[in-house]
Structure 1
Amino acid sequence: MSESPIAVEWESARASNRDNWEDRVPLHEKAYAVSDLDDPDYLTEIVLTDLAALQPFLPGGTVAGLDVCHLQCHIGTDTLSLARAGAQVTGVDFSPAALESAARLAQHMGLEATWIETDVLEARAAVEGHFDLVYTSIGTITWLPDLDRWATQVSGLLRAGGLFYIRDGHPALYALDEHADGLQLRYPYFGNGRAQVWDDESTYVGDGKVAHSRTYQWAHPLSDILNSLIRAGLQILRFDEDNTIPWKFSPRMLEVPGGYAWPVPERDLVPCTYTIVARKTAE
């Protein structure tokens, strides 16, 4: 990890990140609970959590019958859980290997889905049609340098009155040193356009190493996230924070229902995730 963020061209950073995510696909195919999807009633824990948060804002309290676009869908386990819940789904990702994996999984499960290979910052131009729900969760927007451009894609994909949902790692969590003995700040909370550089052969779940270990991520404070959506014409309906996260951010975290959390004495000191539900107010 570089101690100081650096200036990097987006195309170069994007290419390096895509190589890394391509390498993750076979590792995640083994590590994700893909076999659980053979149960016709099974939905991923992430989607179960997200549907519960969305339920008050959905017509009839369900995604059944809705057109849903899942941005940064990776190998499609959550996308196909949304399909199993009754949605017509389109999954968007920049990794060809991930989308090939998602398509194989959809065929195995007997579910219909559309898969689009594109950079999320170009999603509106690459994806046909408009959607009732644009969904993204979890571990997503730190990979993007420009939140105004991102929010414009989200707004452009939505029908008037459509919903946007995001649950992601909290910027306050990302500012902490994951290897420190206690809760200790190490990385920037506020973004300045510079990228943090990671050299890490591991991935966040399962065993194995990636061949392309260098990745680039960007810090985004909550104010930037919320204001980018507001500037793009979205009305914030709900904002929540939580003290658990679906992956083990730090070796000190403990497994709890729904994911991982800090040891009890620290659990209420820092948020781990945030959730936003927003609505597009007009065309």
Structure 2
Amino acid sequence: MKLVNRIMFGLIITVGLMLVYSITDEYYRSREIVDIAAEKLENQEYQDLISAAYYDETPVFEQTVTQNDKEFLVLIYQAAHITDTTNGLLVLEGFQLLVVQKSGEMLPEYFDVLVSADSDVEVSYTGFNLYNLGLYSAFDPDTQGSLFLRNYFEKDDVFQTITHITFSKDEVEIFDIEVELTESLYTLKTPLDNYINEYDEVPLTDIDGVSYNAPIIINVRDKVTRNVVIYLVVVLTSYYLLFIRQRKTLGRDKMSEGLKKDVDKLNNAKDSDISA
């Protein structure tokens, strides 16, 4: 039984250690992201909130939308990723949507975004409110990608001009934006392809016509280590009290008054039997 208890204790401790590590890591990373995003919003450095590695800092679309008591600044940027394929480095370009709420009650944490183009082309995305900061964007629910990729809006290999972006929740429209995002607005692929062809690697700095978005490095190792150490101290103390100290003190504690009376009765009964 003691062995089983120790095995169960060990399993609980292992699961607890994993939870302490993951919860601490996620909490402090999320808090750091919130602080960075809040600072960028306050300074109106919206281009720094683009999630793609490459972008043009000048938005291709910018419009203020008023809906009842709500006011939104809608921004659309050119953006691109570079992915490594069996055929070499491939540039994937698209549009990045950012919506900054200026006033009014915030939208739900998640909502629907429908992007419509000519020739009845429609692509559905999931909109989200980043940590309830009033900063909204959208992602592809299948790939988790945040760009309106160019190839999604091609029909018979011809790009179809994007004309509308509709926000809705539970099939109730929140607001609709009329846009005109044409093929001519895509200007990132050519300079990126030229750089790759010349250097056979991806650019890690700004190049002519393309801005580079360096990844944010968040180091929470010291905080994770601190919480893990605290957890292990608590665990070792609990182990000592449950399995070591308990064994050492077993039978050494003073008897309670009730137990003492029971023992006296047994001794008296034993003495009576002997006398008889």
Give the alignment's TM-score, normalised by structure 1. Answer: 0.23
More helix by share: 2
Larger radius of gyration: 2
More strand by share: 2
Pick 1 or 2: higher relative contact order, CA cutoff 8 A, min separation 6: 1
